[in-house]
Amino acid sequence: MQIESFSVSGFRSLAEVSDIPLRCPTVLTGRNDSGKTATLAALAFLLRAHTLTTDDVREDAEGAQIVVTCTARLTETEQKHLDLGETIRLRRRGAAGSRAVYEIEREVPREPLLRNLDESLALGVLKDRAQMLGIEPDGPKGVKETYLKALRARAVAEETVIDWMTVADGDLNLPEYFHLSGADGANLRSQLTQALRITYRRILSEAEFTERVKNLEEEISLKLAAELEDLCDLIQERCDGYEGVTILPIVSVKDALSDVRVMADRNGRRVNFDHVGTGRQRQLNLAVWEWSNRQVSTSVQEEAQNGLIIAYDEPDTHLDFVRQREFMDLVRVQCANPGVRMMVATHSVNLIDRVPLENVAHLRLVGGQTAVERLATHDDSDYGQFVSRISDELGLPTSAVLFERCFLLVEGATEKVAFPRLFHLVTGRRLQESGIVLFDSGGNTTVLTFVGYLRDLGREVHVIVDHDSKKDHPKIFEKDKLTARGITSDHIDYVGDPNELEELFTDAQWAATANESWPRSDHRLWIERDIHDLRGTGKFSGNLSTLLRDGSGERVSKPALLSNLAQRLRSRDEVPEVLVEIFDRLAAE
């Protein structure tokens, strides 16, 4: 079984958190106390790796129930065993102090009494169901098969509905759950125990142990059952109408490993690693993770049908940049194993930026409850990959899309190289300090798809382009194209009189820039008149580039023109008034 995504209801701060993806890897991020650890614990509950406590149950949870629901893919063997298709919805629900149950969503008879008609039902139960439904079976009345046959015949003719049906734990080949935490260094024994348990189970599955383990489990089960015979008699006495009660204990030697202790010699004395300092614990954790990777690789290859889910809880805590990079290398190797799915709860921008947008789930608190924000929200996974590709092409890291407050779209490279300097001169702050991400269209109309995506996420998008951009790139920069993608009119600025941004700057500023960056080959100085004569005679930037190239003998690109000019400016007063007004507005929002 391979789990694709899961949803949580009623667990701690997770009132209703839906469709958290489980990929290779999924990065789970958000502020402190936003619910990252709770999300991992809810996933552990789904996989039988967490026992519910009273602290897990929300006071407002319906019926004090916790429900974790997943979408999963079944192997061919599982499909045949469960009589289901490849994709299913499975859930586990329960409450503190009670037995949690698994349920699968499937087509069943509308009448509840006609469901779960299997051999495990007692004869008395089958008789009661037949009587309530007015069914008079043919055949001997003291035989379960008589009633099962009659009830099943009615079930075939009954109208069906899609509903949740209980499924026995033993019928499910759930993935192994492997939890590793970097937040609590003192948790070494727990992490090592989990890592060792994977290897322990693999060893017990080897041919030399399989038969011996099976015989031992059966022998212990029979002895336990014999001890319970008196209880079976008491149940029959206290419960009228029930006969042949049996209790069959299920013993699993594979689940027996419970703890491990780490000891070593240091300076002539025996040291228990439970009592070493935090720094040493961090070194030990890294060693455990590296060793675990080898065990994961071996175990998953040998038991690929069950799969493995690895959960890292803040693994980057106290790790320097180099070790964060080494950790991501480890993640990449682990995720390359067939059957592995992974979730990494982290604050690290370095880790976040190493996964595509569709693999990030951002948790945030809304009214004291956790909500999940997907960076690729479309149901079609191809859309998420498409958006990720666009963001890569635009040079926007995942963390920028996740955390920055405002996105500034410009036409091309000229604005990208000049605006950071001009913005700093006007506001005294850098774009990054103000939470502003600058990106350019590159003349690609797909940028509008990305703009619409940002607006769907609730991000602010501003546009600053030349007046003539509406003519040069009408499919991108016509106002109706931008507003159709959710950008409001007050967030769209067309600059340059009559055509271009370069025209905003004075003849004196351009002449000074030309003399410094592209001096004339005849050793004369560029003068304001040289620049003035270019205005109103066509494309100003093109004319200027040609003039300076011919006069200096050097190549002059359009981005270099404005970049060199911007670097010469020293104060806010030297920036054109229209840009001052726009940048002040951007910084204030």
Question: Which residue's entry shows tokens 């040998």?
Answer: 302
Query: Whole-angstrom Cα distance, residue 107 to residue 158?
Result: 11
Residue 298: what pLDDT? 56
Supply the angle between the helices 188-204 and 278-302 in degrees, to the nearest 10.
Answer: 20
Query: Using one digit for the tens of pLDDT, what is the confidence trace for 235-262?
Result: 777 777 667 777 777 777 766 666 677 7
Q: Beta-strand (E) ranges in 110-203?
A: 160-167, 176-181
Query: Using one digit for the tens of pLDDT, what is the confidence trace for 364-422?
Result: 877 778 888 766 554 545 666 667 777 777 778 888 888 888 999 999 999 999 999 99
The residues, ordered by sequence, that sit 6+ positions from 42 with a Cβ below 8 Å of its Cβ are 6, 8, 11, 12, 14, 50, 66, 68
Phi first, then psi: give them for residue 348, nearest 5 degrees.
-70, 120
* Tokens read off for 129: 């169901």
Query: Whole-angstrom Cα distance, residue 579 to residue 423?
Result: 8
Query: Whole-angstrom Cα distance, residue 95 to residue 223?
Result: 31
Mean pLDDT value across residues 556-582: 95
For 324-385, the DSSP string reads: HHHHHHHHHHHHTSTTEEEEEE---HHHHTTS-GGGEEEEEEETTEEEEEESS--SSHHHHH
Give the highest mean pLDDT range of 193-202, 275-284, 527-536. 527-536
pLDDT score of 300 more than 70 = no
Could you count the other beta carbons within 10 Å of the beta carbon of residue 233? Answer: 11
Query: Please, which pLDDT band fits residue 307 given cuts at 50, 70 and 90?
Result: confident
Name residue 15's amino acid.
A
